[in-house]
Amino acid sequence: MKANPNDKVYRAFANILKLGKGVMGMQWWCIVALVAVLVFGVSIASTDAGQPATLSTPYARWKFGPPKDPNFFPIAVWLQNPRNAKRYKEAGINLYVGLWKGPTEEQLELLREAGMPVICDQNEVGLKHRNDPIIVGWMHQDEPDNAQLIGEDPSTGRKIYGGPVPPREIVERYKRMKANDPDRPVLLNLGQGVANDLWKGRGVGAHPDDYFTYVKGCDIVSFDVYPVAGLNDENLLWYVAKGVARLVFWVNWNKSTDGEKIVWNCIECTRIRNLERKPTPHHVRAEVWMGIVHGSQGLIYFVHQFQPEFIEAALLEDPEMLAAVTQINRQIRQLAPVLNSPTIPDGAEVTSTNPEVPVHIMVKHYGSDVYIFAVGMRNAPTKAIFRVNGLSGKAVAEVIDENRRIPVINGRFEDDFKPYDVHIYRIKHP
């Protein structure tokens, strides 16, 4: 049976391939997976591109999960003091993920006062609050796919690491958490090995196909890769997209046996430990939209700094980055109903005039309008030529928040992209 090009699994793999240089050397397991898709033709229903999209929310299945409002798009911050919740709320953050040595009663009370929901550890205090809507999810330990600390050399004090937590152990922990509380989702955040094939930090015994099993052990799966601050290479921003595309592929591969999973991803916005450089606001915006365009349904900002000094809430102490993140979040929140509408896989096509700079898109229909979210995937300029399927005659593409309008003739228009540019277009049907 031939694969359906609208199939989510097929499209996810295609997105991985489109990410370009460095991806074609993928491990055998991805190739095998593609062959299986082509052979068996996994079928997933798609939305008719000619019909207005209806809003949906992936969180409706849980009694005490994240807000069921289809206008809600998760924008979280990682492991922050609840005393800063009001300031984060002002910056457009609507969710906390993680609480230091918590949850404690004091932490939950502070979050309740701020109106900030949280995904946290399922400890004794947390389980006492199973009927408390301030807790909207549970979480695994962070990055279990990385090498785990197993001891310390007594003569040198050097830390000794073994392998990752076995994937089956994560699945068993997930089952126990769901048995304790089936009314909330469980979040699993994985490390950079999701996207970075050169990463050696997974330790002894790690294998690439572990990830097919890891994603079974959660309801929401996320990952972190920090190209600028972590990998010290601003040319690797596309790793964010690569990791999201892989997670989408893995969760859809298992969908028939393990149910629907939700994909989120983490975003860098500080120097972390990098004394040479930190991401710019332009980098952060590109990473955010690379993730969303490739299938992420939620964001987690990593806001710590460890060097040259530890600052827990480093984002709040960086006025330029805070202003940029606030603006990014404002735009996401305004577009949340659009983002929560179905993606139209064949809604448009795009050609980049610079073959070294692919432009990736996501198409949504909301009401009578067509939305195209477009990201330049490399650190170089290009011109993109768009062709909107099913659109004839004359129309206008409004470039959202840029005070620009581009003529659209028979569904065709073009636009310039500087390095890592993001453009969002709204086209009203004539």
Residues 335 and 380 in one domain: no
Rounded to whole angstroms, how far apart are CA atoms 361 and 422?
10
Residues 40 and 127 in one domain: no
- Per-residue pLDDT reduced to its tens digit, 370-387: 999 999 999 999 999 999
Output the six-digit token pair for 257: 């046996």
Residues 144 and 214 in one domain: yes
Inside any domain, residue 269: yes
Residues 364 and 328 in one domain: no
The number of folded domains in the chain is: 3
Q: Does the predicted model carry a pTM greater than 0.85? A: yes
Instruction: Categorize the per-residue pLDDT at 144 as very low, low, confident or very high, splitting at 50, 70 and 90.
Output: very high
The answer to whether residues 39 and 1 touch, using CB atoms and an 8 Å cutoff, is yes
Inside any domain, residue 152: yes
Residues 418 and 329 in one domain: no
Query: The dihedral of CA 109, 110, 113, 114: what is its sign?
Result: negative
* Cβ neighbours for 339, distance < 8 A, ≥ 6 positions apart: 73, 292, 297, 332, 364
The per-residue pLDDT for 155 is 87
Cβ of 320: how many Cβ atoms within 10 Å? 9
Output the six-digit token pair for 311: 């600052």
Final residue in a domain of this structure, among 309, 339, 369: 339
Cβ of 318: how many Cβ atoms within 10 Å? 20
Cα torsion 133, 137, 138, 143 to 10°: value is -150
Beta bridge partners, 364, equal 343, 371
Inside any domain, residue 97: yes
Inside any domain, residue 54: no
Inside any domain, residue 61: no
CATH number of the structural domain spanning residue 82:
3.20.20.80
Inside any domain, residue 65: no
Residues 154 and 81 in one domain: yes
Inside any domain, residue 66: no
Residues 349 and 335 in one domain: no
Strands 404-409 and 369-376: unpaired
- Per-residue pLDDT reduced to its tens digit, 153-185: 888 889 999 999 999 999 999 999 999 999 999
Residues 221 and 315 in one domain: yes
Rounded to whole angstroms, how far apart are CA atoms 224 and 222?
7
Residues 171 and 126 in one domain: yes
Residue 286's domain comprises 75-339
Q: Which of 398, 402, 418 is nearest to 283 (CA)?
A: 418
- Per-residue pLDDT reduced to its tens digit, 292-344: 999 999 999 999 999 999 999 999 999 999 999 999 999 999 999 999 999 99
- Per-residue pLDDT reduced to its tens digit, 215-252: 999 999 999 999 999 999 999 999 999 999 999 999 99
Residues 173 and 197 in one domain: yes
Output the six-digit token pair for 61: 């299945």
Residue 3 confidence (pLDDT) above 50 = no
Residues 228 and 369 in one domain: no
Instruction: Categorize the per-residue pLDDT at 57 as very low, low, confident or very high, splitting at 50, 70 and 90.
Output: confident
Average predicted confidence (pLDDT) for the chain: 90
Tell me the residue length of the chain: 430
